[in-house]
């Protein structure tokens, strides 16, 4: 069984993530991180050199997280802590961020670059209420949001979503041959793609809205109904 837990990196959901891991007691917990980002979360004050565009996006996430009373990536560190508590291993299954952003910047058109940086800058000034409204709309129409991203930012969708989905699905497939009980903590936007790529696996799905509200997810997954279990309130 692979439990896919969809998270948002700017929300205060650490305790919910811990509760999922404690309840399932997996053999291994997979994190949507690479070694560099994991180390940076462990040592937040350590000096490091990152590209300007990455720095702006990171600052945007930091500002959003502050609005919700948390720190970026806190749910990932909570998952690692819970893994240690239950005696599970930790696997970092994402692509190398430095190479990913270098490839993204190389392949993006000038228009995409300008829109990305402009959007991130404007996002710094969004009030929490507006962010909440956007999140609710995403939770109700997540597939449409991903499709819309592909229309407006095709390179971003390909590099940040599609390529990483393939990589993480491959990592999970290999790990599932060694472990029968896996929990994967991943960005919620990756869940549809991973479900499609892992169609032959037994999957349990916990979406971001489930973590935030404690209510069941009932949205069907086309082509995957035979092997997908949705989460109900763990409390």
Question: For the chain, what are the domain ranges?
Answer: 2-230
pTM here is: 0.75
Q: What are phi and psi of 229, to 5 degrees?
A: -110, 130
Residue pLDDT, tens place only, 47-71: 555 555 555 565 555 555 455 555 6
Asked if residue 223 has pLDDT above 60, the reply is no
pLDDT at residue 135 in the model: 61
The average confidence (pLDDT) of the chain is 77
| Coil vs helix vs strand at 57 | helix
The mean per-residue pLDDT over the stretch 151-172 comes to 88
Helix-then-strand count for the chain, H and E: 12, 6
pLDDT at residue 219 in the model: 40
The residue behind tokens 């109700």 is 140
Rounded CA-CA distance 225/75 in Å is 28
């Amino acid at each position: 069984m692979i439990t896919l837990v969809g998270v948002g990196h700017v929300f205060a959901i650490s305790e919910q993530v811990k509760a999922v891991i404690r309840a399932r007691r997996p053999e291994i917990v997979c994190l949507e991180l690479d070694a560099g980002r994991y180390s940076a979360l462990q040592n937040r004050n350590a000096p490091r050199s990152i590209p300007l565009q990455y720095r702006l996006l990171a600052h945007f996430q930091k500002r959003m997280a502050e609005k919700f009373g948390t720190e970026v990536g806190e749910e990932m560190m909570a998952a690692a802590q819970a893994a240690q508590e239950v005696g599970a291993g930790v696997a970092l299954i994402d692509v190398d961020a430095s190479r990913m952003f270098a490839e993204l910047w190389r392949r993006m058109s000038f228009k995409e670059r300008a829109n990305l940086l402009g959007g991130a800058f404007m996002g710094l000034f969004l009030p929490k209420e507006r962010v909440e409204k956007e999140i609710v709309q995403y939770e109700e129409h997540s597939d449409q949001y991903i499709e819309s991203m592909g229309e407006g930012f095709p390179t971003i969708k390909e590099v940040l979503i599609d390529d990483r989905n393939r990589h993480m699905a491959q990592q999970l497939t290999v790990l599932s041959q060694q472990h029968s009980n896996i929990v994967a903590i991943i960005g919620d936007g990756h869940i549809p793609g991973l479900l499609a790529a892992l169609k032959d696996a037994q999957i349990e799905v916990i979406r971001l809205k489930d973590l935030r509200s404690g209510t069941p997810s009932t949205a069907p997954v086309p082509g995957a109904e035979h092997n997908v279990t949705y989460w109900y309130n763990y409390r």
